[in-house]
Amino acid sequence: MPLQVNVVSADQQVWQGEADMVVARTTEGEIGVLPGHVPMLAILAGGEVRVTQSGGRKIVANAEDGFVSVAGDVVTVVARNASLVS
């Protein structure tokens, strides 16, 4: 079962969709999230959030001043500033 991923900034939804993996940089280091990951809440360190979809397609967003939440197979990235790079 794929991850359900939401990337939002303070004023808009930046990206939403299914993914096989999400990688984000937190204040405690870079984390990778796969389906079945334990629940967690972490503070973003800023920089890229990389989303890999099935088939290898990659979505990259810059996200600053926020957090990443994992609950079940739902990954939510909330940032004051976020925008797609590719």
Give the residue numbers spanning the domain of 18.
Answer: 3-84
pLDDT along the chain (86 residues), means of 10: 96 97 97 97 95 96 96 97 90
Q: Can you give the CATH number for the domain in which 42 is found? A: 2.60.15.10
Q: What is the pLDDT of residue 79?
A: 97
- With 0.85 as the threshold, say if the pTM is over it: yes
Domain count for the chain, please give it: 1
Q: What is the pLDDT of residue 33?
A: 98
Q: What is the pLDDT of residue 60?
A: 97
Transcribe the chain into DSSP letters: -PEEEEEE-SSSEEEEEEESEEEEEETTEEEEE-TTPPPEEEEEEEEEEEEE-GGG-EEEEEEEEEEEEEETTEEEEEEEEEEE--
Q: What is the pLDDT of residue 46?
A: 85
